[in-house]
A = this chain, B = another copy of it.
Amino acid sequence: MEQCITIESLRHARNTLGNVGFVPTMGFLHEGHLSLVRRAKAENDAVIVSIFVNPAQFGPGEDFETYPRSLEQDMALLAKEGVDIVFTPKAGDIYPQNYVTEVSVKGVATQLEGASRPGHFTGVATIVTKLFNIVQPQKAYFGQKDAQQCAVIKRFVADLNIPVTIITVPTWREKDGLASSSRNVRLNPEEREKAPALYKALQRAQSLFQKGERDRNVLEKAIRDTLKQNNIEKIDYAKIVDPLTFQEVNPVSESGIALLAVPFSQARLIDNLPLALE
């Protein structure tokens, strides 16, 4: 496994490979990331993983400085998976001082996470565009846990005619249902015990939908009620939306997806579940 730090060295190393599957990450890798790597490994000649905590997608007051980092452990995990190249660029090379360009997405990027985190999806769209232009993969892999991120990426990739196929991989969950996330380590023991309620709440909405409930308000209330029953009082949002546009839909259709965001003391967690049987 080769580690590339400069953009030039990555381009050079990439040119020796055939079809590339690309997994962009912010590091602190968990089983969810590794499931993306394994899928990429199965579907391509070679796999490139990037590790870059992207300052542009963190807002003021968000957790850029304290976002968990573990490069040495990440490298060991990726080597074990048979990854070909790990790209670990410096922020100064990705965003030189005279940098003035942004990729901005309206529509799907303006709801929910876009509303809660202004500028977040512009930061995501810009870094992913840059990484795609540097790595030039055939396919790129993203976790369904970040459902809106997946929708935003599919949107701008189509809109800008970027020649990369976007693959969404199902959310990896702990045994108790908590979606794997680098931020889970920031839950205190009491919060960690409560956290599986996020998935339970989404499952509750899914179950009601599958029994025939199509009223968005009823389904969203069921999510909020389940969270409250599990002593989670603060909820950022609990919504049923269309999975492509992220617009609220009522009555809810077969493609509807339930999403929630819950702030804990040191971490804000998100999760989602399609309402129809997967």
Please state if A103 and B100 are interface contacts (CB–CB under 8 Å).
no
Please state if B101 and A160 are interface contacts (CB–CB under 8 Å).
yes
Number of A residues, CB within 8 Å of B? 29
From A108, A130, A159, name the one whose CB has the most chain B CB atoms within 10 angstroms.
Answer: A159
The distance from the CB of A162 to the nearest CB of chain B, in whole angstroms, is 5
Contact sample, A vs B, 30 pairs, CB 8 Å cutoff: A7-B161, A11-B163, A98-B107, A98-B245, A99-B159, A100-B105, A100-B107, A100-B108, A100-B109, A100-B155, A101-B105, A101-B106, A101-B125, A101-B156, A101-B159, A101-B160, A102-B103, A102-B104, A102-B106, A103-B103, A103-B160, A104-B104, A126-B160, A129-B160, A130-B160, A130-B161, A133-B160, A133-B162, A133-B163, A134-B161
Q: 18 extra interchain contacts, Cβ-Cβ under 8 A, other than A98-B107, A100-B105?
A: A7-B161, A98-B245, A99-B159, A100-B108, A100-B159, A101-B105, A101-B125, A102-B103, A102-B104, A103-B160, A104-B104, A126-B160, A129-B160, A130-B159, A130-B161, A133-B160, A133-B163, A136-B163
